[in-house]
Amino acid sequence: MTYLFETEEHSQLRENVRRFAQKHIAPHAHAWEEACEFPRELYRTAAEAGLLGISYPVSEGGAGGDVMHALAASEELVLYGHSVGTCVGLNSHGIALPPIVRLGTPSQKERFVAPVLRGEKISALAITEPGGGSDVASLRTKAVRNGDHYVVNGSKTFITSGVRCDFVTTAVRTGGEGHGGVSLLVIERGTPGFTVSKKLAKTGWWASDTAELSFEECRVPASNLIGEENMGFLAIMINFATERLFLAGQCVAIAELAYRESVKYARDRKAFGRTLMGHQVIRHKLADMVTKIAAVRALVSECAVRVVREEQVPGLAAMTKNAATDMCSYVVDEAVQIHGGNGYMREFLVERLYRDARLYPIGGGTREIMNEIIAKTEGY
């Protein structure tokens, strides 16, 4: 099944992404996940195949399209690449670049957006701090204006692609307490005082790197400020709504892949003189899995259509993310169960998908914070 909004154009895009994933990711997926890294050259190969520019304006070096194209492409990458870690690492620009595309100056777009879409530079987004990620308005990394620079002190953690990125779109405090004092600053690798303090070991998403970053008396040119000073919080919230839709789309992709693997396994594996598929309990498990995937796919579709219509949908995006993460957790758990002991073994794909799926109720805003947003938008 594909998304209801898809046309012939999306179908061609899927074919292109599928060819790329089958050729350049799938043969190495297991090895890259085990090595906790994929080759840096993959960014350039992906750019040449037209993947990195999807949904970015042609005027900024992108390939055009919108969030619907990005959702279709990202699903295909997971389904045929078989490495969620590689896909999220390759696509960290999807959260790092949009604020620059929306609010950046022409010179900032030329310096930061175009090279990433050409696969020459790697970008990351840094909001979360060791002291907490949910309460974004309380972030503490300070940027104090000094002439034509900001002097940045603080730290960030859990930053996807943070270990080897060339720049980080960073949320900093330039003003007073609360959301009115937050700005976005691009901090480039090599800026004195900016270091990767740790490469973090994690449950899933192994092929992507995740970093703790440190800023000590780090002098960042004021020309790297994205948008207006102290107006960064709104940009972060707008970015979050799209990120949550993408994360929900990744949940659909992961669940779909786990479901397909389970159908294959149930057809091959025998127990009590017949295939697993010959047992009604297993058929019903699969029926429940595919039903839940279809329901969430419909919700993701609806949310995507509204985003493309430029409706503000923070509540719907939060609902979509929670519905998707619940569904995905359920589906990968059942997939492991259908695989029995093999489902617990590293050489079986569903074992890895089970670990990958655990991130989604946490990353991009937790399940609990999504409910807070829904409660607020519902007016209670």
Ligand X SMILES: Cc1cc2nc3c(=O)[nH]c(=O)nc-3n(C[C@H](O)[C@H](O)[C@H](O)COP(=O)(O)OP(=O)(O)OC[C@H]3O[C@@H](n4cnc5c(N)ncnc54)[C@H](O)[C@@H]3O)c2cc1C
Binding letters toward ligand X, positions 140-169, x by CB under 6 A: ------------------xxx---------
Neighbours of 270 (CB within 10 A): 10
Which residue's CB atom is positioned nearest to ligand X?
Answer: 133
Per the DSSP assignment, residues forming a β-bridge with 211 are 159, 199
Question: Using the rule CB under 6 A, is 133 a contact of ligand X?
Answer: yes
CA-nearest of 51, 88, 59, 34 to 253 is 88
Binding letters toward ligand X, positions 177-216, x by CB under 6 A: -------------------------x--x----x------
Is residue 15 part of the annotated active site? The answer reads: no
Question: Using the rule CB under 6 A, is 362 a contact of ligand X?
Answer: yes
In angstroms, rounded to a whole number, what is the distance separating the alpha carbons of residues 246 and 241?
Answer: 9
Question: Using the rule CB under 6 A, is 61 a contact of ligand X?
Answer: no
Question: Using the rule CB under 6 A, is 134 a contact of ligand X?
Answer: yes
Integer angstrom CA distances of residue 36 from 78, 161, 321: 17, 12, 26
Q: What angle do CA 32, 38, 40 make, to 5 degrees?
A: 165
157/174 with CB nearer ligand X: 157
70/266 with CB nearer ligand X: 70
| Identity at 27, one-letter amino acid code | P
Residue with tokens 């940045």, as numbered in its chain? 152
Least Å from the CB of residue 83 to ligand X: 15
In angstroms, rounded to a whole number, what is the distance separating the alpha carbons of residues 54 and 70?
Answer: 6
Question: Using the rule CB under 6 A, is 359 a contact of ligand X?
Answer: yes
Catalytic residue among 243, 261, 334, 351: 243
> What residues between 62 and 91 interact with ligand X by CB under 6 A?
none
Per residue, what are the HEC states of 268-291?
HCEECCEEHHHCHHHHHHHHHHHH
Q: What is the DSSP secondary structure assignment for residue 201, as one 8-state letter?
A: P
Give the residue, chosen from 288, 368, 375, 376, that forms a contact with ligand X under the rule CB under 6 A.
Answer: 368
Question: Using the rule CB under 6 A, is 132 a contact of ligand X?
Answer: yes
The set of residues, in sequence order, having a beta carbon less than 8 Å from that of 190 and lying 6+ positions away, is none
Number of residues that bind ligand X (CB under 6 A): 23
Question: Using the rule CB under 6 A, is 126 a contact of ligand X?
Answer: yes
Give the residue, chosen from 17, 67, 122, 127, that forms a contact with ligand X under the rule CB under 6 A.
Answer: 127
Using CB under 6 A, list all residues that contact ligand X. 124-128, 132-134, 158-160, 202, 205, 210, 359, 362-366, 368-369, 372
Catalytic annotation, residues: 243
